[in-house]
Amino acid sequence: MTDKGVLDAGLIQPIVAELKSQGITGIVIYSEISAEPETHVVESCRDVFINESCDGIIGIGGGSAMDTAKAVAVYQSEKRALNELFGENNCARRTVPLICLPTTAGTGSEVTNISILSDVEAQLKKGIVSDELLPDVAIVAPELTQSCPPSVTAASGIDALVHAVESYISNFASDITRALSVGAIKMIVNALPDAYRRPDDLDARERMATGSLMAGLAFGNAGVGAVHALAYPLGGRYHLSHGVSNALMFTHVMRWNLSSCPNDFLNIALAMGAEATISEADAGDFVIEKLESLCRAVEIPGGLREFGIERSDLRSIAEAASGVTRLLRNNPRELSVDDIEAIYQAAY
């Protein structure tokens, strides 16, 4: 399971050839996955899986391909409708093997127990959360990310940094997840500009792949927060990519969170390269300025208005985001609908 971009980049053919050389000849390639994984695509792919009598799944691509592969892996044996799997721990035991290979750095989807899908009719993003979604094998090869277009490198790289930062300040962070988060922050902040400017720089690609993997392990256990919650309606309603949605909300949500966990932001600032003598009072500004400069360096769009979103839409978007309680409960500072609308206004 992959998308047309990965297929056209020539990444699938060598893998298929290797499988065939090992005697695996009954290979079906499904490449109709969209930029944001949609429920109807999961249903379509499931039909192909069943009709072709497939007995295992390899998901190769960015988060969309892997999230779709994970969803199909648990859905293919179900008698229930797909919408009954949404929420936490609603999946029956997975009956087929699942291997994931990320081609971006990235979503960390290859090591997480969640699949985020877009319900086109409802204009909402919905999550299936279950340990049955965890792949049996994750193969993280930096070479697979070298064909990433610069815009995808930028958006997915910022997404990985959001995972690292949000998991660090999560209400459910632990010493173990924070160690992974800090390691990821250090790698991503230093490597992303290099990977963006020099796509063939394998050292930068490896650091990004490792940082993304570490961030995935961190947020897979500690969770993410309000950045993701506020990004969901942007993807569901306006079809912004997950990485771009997160990038647009990143600094504005972090400004909101500064007062709730100043010591956490001190540690994040140090991970981002601040002087050891920096004060807790100055750390928050350092982090925000670092994030803003990094987004500029990789040419992330500047505001919501650039995507045709009307200012008059912001209240209804805020109301939709306030319903993403599964993520908002992880955030170190509570947000009302008015607070969320104010953050959208700042990001406009």
The CA angle 62-64-68, to the nearest 5 degrees, is 125
Helix (H) or strand (E) run with residue 126 in it: strand 124-129
Q: What confidence tier does 35 reach under pLDDT thresholds 50, 70, 90? A: confident
Q: What's the pLDDT score for residue 301?
A: 86
- Coil, strand or helix: which one is 114? strand
Structural domains of the chain, ranges and CATH numbers in brackets: 4-140 (3.40.50.1970), 148-347 (1.20.1090.10)
Average pLDDT, integer, range 10-34:
94
Q: What's the pLDDT score for residue 205?
A: 98
pLDDT tens, position by position, 111-159: 999 999 988 887 778 899 999 999 999 999 999 999 999 999 999 999 9
Q: What's the pLDDT score for residue 241?
A: 85
Percent of residues in the chain assigned helix, strand, coil, to nearest 5: 60, 10, 30
Helix (H) or strand (E) run with residue 51 in it: helix 39-51
Candidates 296, 343, 308, 295; CA nearest to 322 is 343
Average pLDDT, integer, range 66-94:
96
Q: What's the pLDDT score for residue 192?
A: 98
Q: What's the pLDDT score for residue 114?
A: 95
DSSP-assigned letters across all residues of 140-187: --GGGGTT--HHHHHHHHHHHHHHHHHHHH-TT--HHHHHHHHHHHHH
Q: Judge whether 73 and 82 are in contact, CB under 8 Å.
A: no
Candidates 297, 341, 299; CA nearest to 316 is 341
Average pLDDT, integer, range 76-100:
96
Tokens 């109709």 found at: 32
DSSP-assigned letters across all residues of 299-314: T----GGGGT--GGGH
DSSP designation for 317 = H
d(CA 40, CA 80): 15
pLDDT tens, position by position, 164-210: 999 999 999 999 999 999 999 999 999 999 999 999 999 999 999 99
For 108: left if phi > 0, alpha if psi spans -120 to 50, otherwise beta; the answer is left
Q: Judge whether 335 and 226 are in contact, CB under 8 Å.
A: yes
Average pLDDT, integer, range 11-30:
95
Q: Judge whether 238 and 309 are in contact, CB under 8 Å.
A: yes
pLDDT tens, position by position, 209-266: 999 999 999 999 999 999 999 999 998 899 888 889 999 999 999 999 999 999 999 9
Average confidence score pLDDT of the chain: 95
Q: What's the pLDDT score for residue 348?
A: 95
Radius of gyration of the chain (CA): 19
> pTM for the complete prediction?
0.94
DSSP-assigned letters across all residues of 265-297: HHHHHHHTT--TT--HHHHHHHHHHHHHHHHHH
